[in-house]
Amino acid sequence: MKKVILVILLLAFLSPMAGAEGVKLGAGVFGGLNIPIVQQDQGSGTAFGVRGKLHFSSFFGAEPNIVFGKWGDPGEVDGFELGISGSSVTSFGVDLVLGGMPGTVGFKPFVFAGLGMYSIKNDDTDYDESKFGFDGGLGVAIGLSPIIDIETRGTLFLAGMEGGLSKKAVMITAGINYYFGSDY
């Protein structure tokens, strides 16, 4: 239920901008792998989410996003079976994007970087931390039509934690984007 409310809030935030001159508005859904980096107590898991797409030009835009992730069970560490579950990772943030060229057909690479609030929680260990972090990466979109892209991207994120440290992971996701309006 909480996830549904968050998605509705995101869409509500984006909808007033749909009519703004020069702003191309879209939305996308995505899912894929969520691979922790240098975290022996976590295994590979999954991530899915939604993002808004506000392109101020063909080459520059912003993407507010919500991601729901779950790392996998760690399994054995040095021959010892921990027997606990992986942590959940929820984030809300905004990425700035260069490239992508919404409203065009064809092969469209892009890079991005952004900030977000990351919440990492593990019910077994009682680890529960919400702090700012940031992310970046690159991807490629393929415009199937002026209003529909499919895309894949790799995202490195660093979620802040106590002591000036971070928990890091790579997400490899695939998704589909839809651009509103008919002026493409």
Partner 1 sequence: MRILTGFLMLIGLLAVGLVFVGCPNYFISGTVVIVEEFTFTAEHGFYFYRVDITDEEDWDDYKDDIGLVDAVGVELFITSEEPGDVTFSAYVDDYSGPGPEPVSIPGTATMIIDSITISPGFTHLTYAQSLGFLTGVERLKDLVEEGQFDYYGESTGSDGETFIVDSAKVIMTLSGGAGS
Binding footprint of partner 1 on the chain (CB under 8 A) = 37-42, 56-57, 59-60, 74, 77-78, 80, 82-84, 96-98, 111-115, 124-127, 132, 134, 136, 158, 160-168
Q: Could you tell me how far CA 94 lies from the centroid of its own chain?
A: 9
Q: Closest separation between CB of residue 46 and partner 1, Å?
A: 20
Q: Closest separation between CB of residue 88 and partner 1, Å?
A: 15
Q: Closest separation between CB of residue 1 and partner 1, Å?
A: 27
| Apex 54 CA angle, 48 and 59, nearest 5 | 105
Q: How far apart are CA 40 and CA 80, in angstroms?
A: 11
Shorter beta-carbon distance to partner 1: residue 17 or 174: 17
Compute the CA torsion angle 181, 114, 97, 44 (nearest 10 deg). -90
Shorter beta-carbon distance to partner 1: residue 150 or 184: 184
Shorter beta-carbon distance to partner 1: residue 31 or 136: 136
Contacts of 182 (CB under 8 A, 6+ apart): none
